[in-house]
Amino acid sequence: MPGSSSLTAPAKLDKFLRARPGAEITLERLHDIAEIEDPYDLAELLVELIHEGRLERFVRIESPGTHGGIADFSDILEIPSIIHDPSSDTELTVSPDNLRTMFRVKG
């Protein structure tokens, strides 16, 4: 497998996780904090943190107008094809452009 991850969170990421239980964070922000360049190493670390119960992964449907969250789902198969967007009071056809992978820090 590419990379050489030791499956230990870098100090900066570990400090972030300990200080912010309940925080919601994007994959991009986790990547910035972890400072791990190899995507395989980052993926391996995230899987380990999820298995340890330190992170929870979910998918958020975002409003195209406000980029605010409309609904969160733990499984991509639960995501409806159409959802009401309260910020615009319209029915939104869900597409990959409206989905964001998120993580919640477990405390």
pLDDT digits (tens, 9 = 90+) for 49-94: 999 999 999 999 999 999 999 999 999 999 999 999 999 999 999 9
- Helix H or strand E encompassing 27: helix 27-34
Query: What residues pair up with 62 in beta bridges, in sequence order?
Result: 69
Query: Is residue 46 helix, strand or coil?
Result: helix
> Rounded distance, CA 35 to CA 9, Å?
10
- pLDDT band (50, 70, 90) for residue 44: very high
Average pLDDT over residues 9-37: 92
**Domain residue spans of the chain:** 11-105
Cα 34 to Cα 10, 11, 13, 40, 64: the distances in Å are 6, 8, 5, 13, 28
